[in-house]
Chain A
Amino acid sequence: MTEMAPAQEGTLEARFPGVVTHDERKGYEGYIVQLDKLTEVAQVLRDDLGYDFLSSVTAVDYLAQKEDEESYFEVVYHLYKSTGGSALVLAVQTPRDNPAVPSLTPLYPGAEFQEREAFDLYGIDFTDHPDMRRILMWEGFEGFPMRKDWKEPYFEEDVKPFANRWPGGQVYRIEDHNPVGKNNQYPQGFDPESWSPAIEDALYDSLRRSNAEYDEIEDLDTEQVIVNLGPQHPSTHGVFRMAVLMDGETIVALKPVMGYLHRNHEKIGERNTFLHNMPFTDRLDYITSLSNNFGYALAVEKLMGAKGVPTERAEYIRVIMAELTRISSHLWAIGFLLNDLGAFFTPSLYAIEERELLLDIFEATTGSRMMNNYFRFGGVARDFPEGVLERIGELVTERLPRKVDELDRYLTNNEIVRTRCEGIGVLSPDEAIEYSMAGPMLRASGVPYDVRRADPYSIYEQFDFDVAVRYHGDVYDRYLIRLDEIRQSIRIVQQAVERIPDGDFLTGKNPYQVRVPAGEAFGRVEGPKGEIGFYVVSNGKANPWRYHVRAPSFINLTALEKMCIGSKVADVVVVLGSVDIILGEVDR
C-alpha cells in the first residue's frame, strides 16, 4: 500500500530536486524530505497534488546499535487523498540532541495532538506548533519515555522473552526489589519535600490563550469560569477530562486532557515480540478487539510477504468477525449516546442485550468475550466451533435486522433526541478532512471515505455494500450513520456466511517465533471508530523496532474544541458521546 503511481513519483522527486529523495533503506518505500523544506513540500502536496488527509504522524528513535551507525530521530507522515488511494509516506530526520521539526499543524490541524504526543514521548520540539505541551504524561515528568535509552523503574531486559523466566526460573514480585516497593524511580538528589507541583498551570494558560481568538462573545460584563469535567465523571466514557472555559453557560474554549489511562502500550509493544503484541492490541479499543487484531495482522503480514498471506477461509472468518465487531461497537455507541442525552440506561439495556448475543459468539469462537486474541499472521487461531456459523447466520438474518429496526423506531424520531442532537457539534466536510477525522465522524460530515472502499484490504472488494454517508455533520447524523453502518455490516455478514469456503484457517504452521524481514509497514483497517492503523518498523529481529498505533479515537478528539465552541455545557457531553471514544485507545 505504500507504492505510488509512477507518474506522480516522477513529479514529486522532479518537482523538489535534492529536497525529496526516495527512501533507499531496505523495506522502506517512502520519501525523505529535507528538514527545513517540509512545510513547503507539504503545502504543495496538500494544495496541488490532492494529499489533503494527514492520517498519521509519529516519531521513530533510530538509536545506533553499532559503532559505525548514526543516531537520529525520524518523524514519519502518512498522507492520503480524501478521494481514495494508497498512502504517501514522508519522513524527516532530525539529530537526537535538540531535535526540532517544523510543525504541520498550521497546514493540517489534525496533526496537533499527534505532534504533541511525539513531543511528550520523544522530546521532539515542533516549531510553530500553537500549543506545545505534554499530552499523555504530566508536566514535570522526568524524561521522554519512548526514547530507546530511557528505562522505566520495572525495567528487566531490553527485549522479551526474559532469561529470568526461563531458564532462570527465579520467581519474585518485582516490586520487592524496589526501595519504595512501588513502580517508581527518582533522579539523584531529588528532594520530595521541596517539590512544588505546577502541573495544571500550562493547561490553564493554554485555555486562556485559546480563548483570545474567540473573545467576541464578551458583550456583558461577566467573568469567565473554568470548569473541569472528569477524569471521574459518569459521562466521559472513562477517565477522560475536559477543561472548559465558559462565559455564562457558553463555551469559549475547551482543552481535552488525557493520559489518565496511558498504559504505555507502545513502549511495551517494542519490548514484545511480534506475536506478543496481538493480545495487547485487544486492549487498545476494548470494545472492538477483533478490528484491532485485524489492523495489526495486516501490518505484520505486509512485512512478511508471501509467508503471511491468509487463506481464503481465514479471510472470510476475519471479515465476519470484524463486521460483527462493528455491529456490537455501534450498538454500544448508540446506547451510550442516549445515556449521555439523559435517557438513562433503557436504550443502553436494549443495545447491550444484542451485544451480549454477539459476545456469546465471540466467546464460543475465540475463547473470550472481549479480549479475543484471535488473529494470527496468515490466518486466525482456530476455526469456528461446530454450530457457531449457523448461529451467526441466524442472528444476522433473523434477529439483528429486526432489532435494529426496533431501535430505529424507538429512538430516531423521538422529538427530544432530535432537539438535543440536530445542529449540535457541526463539522463541515472540509473541516472534517483538515482535522484528520475518521470513520463515522468523517462520513457523517458528507465525506464518503471508507478504507474498505477507498483503499481496499482483505476481501472487501468481493462484497456488495454501500458506504454510508450523511451530510449535516451534526450529532444526529452521527447517530444515524451508525444505524446505517450496522445495516451495511449485516449485509456483509449475510453474504460472507453464505459464501464462506472450506479449507484451512491458517497459512503455515503457526510457529511461536515469527520471522519478520526488516522494513516498515502501515496496516490500516476501517475500524468501528474510524481508521485504525498500525505502523510497524522491523529490523529483522524478533521484536518490532517501532510499534505505533494510529488511534482513531485519539485523533477524532482533535476537533472536539472546534465542535464545542459556542454551545452549552450540556451539549459538550453529547458531542463527546457522538465522537464515541474509548479511553484505552485514546491514551494507549
Chain B
Amino acid sequence: MTETPNLNTEGYDISPEARANVAITTIDKIFNAGRRYSVWPMMFGLACCAIEMISAAAGRYDLARFGMEVLRPSPRQSDLMIVSGTVTKKMLPQIVRLYNQMPDPKYVMAMGACASGGGPFKEGYNVVSGVDKYIPVDVYVPGCPPTPQALLHGLMKIQEKIDTEKHFTNFRDRTKPIEPIPVPILGPDIIDPRDYETIKDGVKSGPLTTVIPAVE
C-alpha cells in the first residue's frame, strides 16, 4: 500500500472541504478498533492453502474470535483478500480484477509460499512467481501450507498494521477514484500492460526470456 502523506507534515495540500474539519487523532484509535475487529475476508480459495483457510474458519481455530467470520463471496463487500494458493497466469486477470473491485481501504495477504514467491511450482510455465508482482501485498505468511495457527498469526499482523494507520485523520479526496491496476492480458504469455515498452524492446532481436548467468 502506498502511504498516504501525513496531514501534519509541512506543505501538505489540504483540500477546501477538509479545512472546515478538525482532525482529532484519538478518533483514529476508535476508528481503527472498529476496523481491526471487522476485517471481512473475501471467500476466495485458490489451492491447497484454501483448505487450511477453511479449516481456520471452522470450529477449531474459529476466525469469528477475530471478527473475521464473515467471508464475503463478493469483492465489493470485503476488506481483505487472502491469496490462498498458487496464482496461475490463467487466473491472474481475474485476481487483479477482483482486487480492483474491492473498496478502499483494502488489504492483501499472500498465504503460503506459492502466493508469496511461486513456491515449489515457481519454475512452472503457468505459474506467477509471487502475486506481489501484480498487486500490492501487505502480509506474507510463509509455509507450504501454513497451518491454521500460522494463518491466524498473519491475520493478527494485519490487525497490527491497521492499528498504525490514520485513515480518519489522513484525509484522502474521495471524489477522485483510485487508479485501478491494469488487468493483465492473456497472450502468447501473460502480458502486463505496464511492461509494454520493455517487451517491445526485448523482442526486437530475438525472443524475450530469462538469461541466467553462467556458473563460475
Task: Identify A268's interface contact among B48, B123, B191, B209, CB under 8 A.
Answer: B123
Within 8 A of B (CB), among A184-212: 184-193, 195, 197, 199
In the complex, whether B52 has a CB less than 8 A from a CB of chain A is yes
Cβ–Cβ contact A260 & B88, under 8 A:
yes
| Other 9 A-B pairs with CB < 8 A, given A188-B205, A192-B187 | A153-B125, A154-B129, A173-B117, A178-B210, A182-B192, A234-B43, A260-B90, A263-B47, A370-B145
Once bound together, how far apart are the Cα atoms of A271 and B121, in whole Å? 12
Shortest Cβ distance from B45 into chain A, in angstroms? 6
Q: Is the interface of B mostly helix, strand, loop or mixed?
A: loop
Once bound together, how far apart are the Cα atoms of A267 and B98, in whole Å? 30
- Give the interface segment out of A105-113, A137-145, A291-299: A137-145
In the complex, whether A510 has a CB less than 8 A from a CB of chain B is no
Closest 7 CB pairs of A and B: A264-B124, A142-B188, A152-B125, A185-B209, A286-B48, A263-B121, A234-B73
Within 8 A of A (CB), among B172-212: 185-193, 195-196, 198-200, 202-212
Once bound together, how far apart are the Cα atoms of A177 and B88, in whole Å? 20
Once bound together, how far apart are the Cα atoms of A348 and B46, in whole Å? 19
Q: Is the interface of A mostly helix, strand, loop or mixed?
A: loop
Chain B residues bordering chain A, tally (CB within 8 A): 69
In the complex, whether B44 has a CB less than 8 A from a CB of chain A is yes
Cβ–Cβ contact A238 & B145, under 8 A:
no
Cβ–Cβ contact A263 & B127, under 8 A:
yes
Interfacial chain A residues near B196, Cβ < 8 Å: 192-193
Once bound together, how far apart are the Cα atoms of A170 and B215, in whole Å? 7
Which chain B residue lies CB-closest to A234? Answer: B73
Interfacial chain A residues near B187, Cβ < 8 Å: 140, 186, 190, 192, 195, 197
Interfacial chain B residues near A459, Cβ < 8 Å: none
Interfacial chain A residues near B128, Cβ < 8 Å: 182-183
Q: A187-B203, A233-B73 are in contact. Are A238 and B45 (CB under 8 A)?
A: yes
Cβ–Cβ contact A185 & B55, under 8 A:
no
Interfacial chain B residues near A142, Cβ < 8 Å: 188-189
Q: A177-B211, A197-B185, A371-B144 are in contact. Are A152 and B124 (CB under 8 A)?
A: yes
Interfacial chain B residues near A233, Cβ < 8 Å: 73
Task: Identify B58's interface contact among A138, A168, A348, CB under 8 A.
Answer: A348
Interfacial chain B residues near A191, Cβ < 8 Å: 200
Which chain B residue lies CB-closest to A193? Answer: B196
In the complex, whether B170 has a CB less than 8 A from a CB of chain A is no
- Give the interface segment out of A61-69, A349-357, A422-430: A349-357
Cβ–Cβ contact A352 & B55, under 8 A:
yes
Once bound together, how far apart are the Cα atoms of A65 and B89, in whole Å? 32
Q: A238-B50, A371-B144 are in contact. Are A183 and B207 (CB under 8 A)?
A: no
Fill in one digit per residue for B32-66: 1 if any A CB lies within 8 Å of its CB, else 0.
00000000000111111011101100111000000
Interfacial chain B residues near A517, Cβ < 8 Å: none
Within 8 A of B (CB), among A260-292: 260-264, 267-268, 271, 279-280, 283, 286-287
Task: Identify B202's interface contact among A154, A179, A199, A238, CB under 8 A.
Answer: A179
In the complex, whether B85 has a CB less than 8 A from a CB of chain A is yes
Cβ–Cβ contact A239 & B195, under 8 A:
no
Q: A260-B90, A260-B91, A261-B86 are in contact. Are A154 and B210 (CB under 8 A)?
A: yes
In the complex, whether A537 has a CB less than 8 A from a CB of chain B is no
Interfacial chain B residues near A145, Cβ < 8 Å: 125-126
In the complex, whether A358 has a CB less than 8 A from a CB of chain B is no
What interface size band does chain A fall in?
35 or more
Shortest Cβ distance from A343 into chain B, in angstroms? 15
Cβ–Cβ contact A356 & B55, under 8 A:
yes
In the complex, whether B213 has a CB less than 8 A from a CB of chain A is yes
Cβ–Cβ contact A264 & B199, under 8 A:
no
Fill in one digit per residue for A130-160: 1 if any B CB lies within 8 Å of its CB, else 0.
0000001110111001000001111110000
Shortest Cβ distance from A81 into chain B, in angstroms? 35
Task: Identify B88's interface contact among A173, A180, A263, CB under 8 A.
Answer: A263
Interfacial chain A residues near B47, Cβ < 8 Å: 238, 261, 263, 283, 286, 583-584
In the complex, whether B133 has a CB less than 8 A from a CB of chain A is yes
Cβ–Cβ contact B212 & A174, under 8 A:
yes
In the complex, whether A562 has a CB less than 8 A from a CB of chain B is no
| Most chain B beta-carbon contacts within 10 A, residue among A184, A280, A283 | A184
Q: A180-B195, A260-B90, A264-B126 are in contact. Are A370 and B216 (CB under 8 A)?
A: no
Cβ–Cβ contact B188 & A163, under 8 A:
no
Task: Identify B213's interface contact among A170, A190, A193, A584, CB under 8 A.
Answer: A170
Cβ–Cβ contact A263 & B198, under 8 A:
no
Task: Identify B210's interface contact among A153, A262, A268, A286, CB under 8 A.
Answer: A153
Once bound together, how far apart are the Cα atoms of A185 and B200, in whole Å? 12
In the complex, whether B103 has a CB less than 8 A from a CB of chain A is no
In the complex, whether B159 has a CB less than 8 A from a CB of chain A is no
Q: A283-B120, A584-B47 are in contact. Are A352 and B58 (CB under 8 A)?
A: yes
In the complex, whether A259 has a CB less than 8 A from a CB of chain B is yes
Interfacial chain A residues near B202, Cβ < 8 Å: 179-180, 186
Cβ–Cβ contact A261 & B46, under 8 A:
yes
Once bound together, how far apart are the Cα atoms of A182 and B195, in whole Å? 10
In the complex, whether B94 has a CB less than 8 A from a CB of chain A is yes
